Structure 1
Amino acid sequence: MNYFAHLHIASLTQTSWVGNLLGDFPVDSKMLDVDLLEGWRLHQQVDVMVDNHAASLAFRAFPRKGRRRFSGIVQDIVMDYWLIQYWQDFSRVSLPVFCDQAVAGLLVDVDRSPERLKGMIKSLEKYNWLPNLGTHEGVEKAILSIMRRWRHGQYLQAFVDDLPDVIQQGEQTFLSLYPDVLDFVALQTKKAEATHSLG
């Protein structure tokens, strides 16, 4: 799951919007405030669950130009694409309203964000490009952004070259995976609430 899915999870669990994105940014979890730590921990749990899900294993096994070992990075971005396509099945809030809510929620904690996330939030405040993650162009831009930042980024070029097929391969993966993700998140939330009540 990438940015958009983690923001959706933040809204469902009423945990920190920023906290739920921190798993994708370099932070020292020991230095996080309690609310941010809760979102960071949920992000980590979701990532582990997604990586080990049968649908993810199947996605990584598809024949394609890109190397299998790097396909999980692309899968996360493609999952955001399909969440936006099927948004009405997973939320009663319209997509434009949710995107505005997400940006407003991120701005609340922008000053407690690491610099790169802070820059992303400021970009969202100005342009609110979240809906663009549901377009082929948006998927390509997200991959290219990783390619620029990551020292092994050149290995993602094959996925860009094969992007229409890669995106299409992700549809059934998403439909099999995301309901299980939401069930998993609900269970983790109940466990966290039970721990808080005991404390």
Structure 2
Amino acid sequence: MNYLAHLFLAPNDPQQQLGGLIADFTRGRLETLAEHYSEGVIQGIALHRQIDRFTDEHRWVIQSKVRFSKEYRRYSGIILDILYDHFLSCYWTVYSELDRAGLIQEFYRLLIQEQVCLPPRLKTLIPRIVDEDWLGSYHDLDLLGQVYQRMSARLQRTNPLGDAIVEVRRLYPQLSDDFKRFFPELVTFSQQQQRVLSQT
């Protein structure tokens, strides 16, 4: 769900960038997945998993989750995943000199070019990801409300996600501050893991 963050944190390598997205659509051991994907894709999947683990256990992310009222706390991970892409988009120039829109469009072209190699569920989503500009549209806070509503409808049990934007607006300054403390540490961790993976 935080596709922009994983693209940003991936090395400047198309296969690893693909792996960073494919990771959300695959399960199982890397050794098994290596029978179907290139070494670069596998490294991207491995990095994605390490980033997710680091994020879930990070003190500032945990702090953000605790800020949510009881009604939303169970879904705080989903809410934050999407919100972090919004924050990254808004504060992009703090963390990168690259052109955000250009990077996203280049990645969309890569997805279209490589779609035959993608997992079936991801392959069917490519037209929507590109047409609806999933990686770029989270910049607009109003659109996040629509994203939360779609997420809510996809879950089988009754849930409050459809109204999560109200909670996000209430907590926005605090959650933004948590992100600004957390994200530089995530960038450093990602760079360290890239060096480790490149040596394996």
TM-score by length of 1: 0.86
Give, in whole Å, the separation in 2 of the partners of 1:47 and 1:144. 23
Counterpart pick for 2:61 among 31, 38, 56: 56
Give, in whole Å, the separation in 2 of the partners of 1:140 and 1:51. 23
Match in the other structure for 1:136: 141
Give, in whole Å, the separation in 1 of the partners of 2:64 and 2:183. 14
1:24 pairs with 2:29: no
Match in the other structure for 1:189: 194
CA 22–66 in structure 1, closer or farther in 2 if over 3 Å, else same: farther
C-alpha deviation, 1:88, in angstroms:
0.6
List alignment gaps of at least 5 residues for structure 1. none
C-alpha deviation, 1:27, in angstroms:
4.0
Contact 1:18 1:110 in 2 (8 A): no
Give, in whole Å, the separation in 1 of the partners of 2:12 and 2:147. 24
CA 67–41 in structure 1, closer or farther in 2 if over 3 Å, else same: same
Residue deviations 1:139-191 (CA, integer Å, cap 9, x gap): 22222222222224624235234231244432112101111111011111111
Contact 1:146 1:153 in 2 (8 A): no
1:169 pairs with 2:174: yes
Give, in whole Å, the separation in 1 of the partners of 2:164 and 2:74. 12
Contact 1:79 1:170 in 2 (8 A): no
Q: How many correspondences in the alignment? A: 195
Contact 1:133 1:139 in 2 (8 A): yes
TM-score by length of 2: 0.85
**Letter aligned with residue 118 of structure 2:** S
List alignment gaps of at least 5 residues for structure 2. none
| Aligned sequence identity (%) | 24
SS of 1:18's equivalent in the other structure is helix
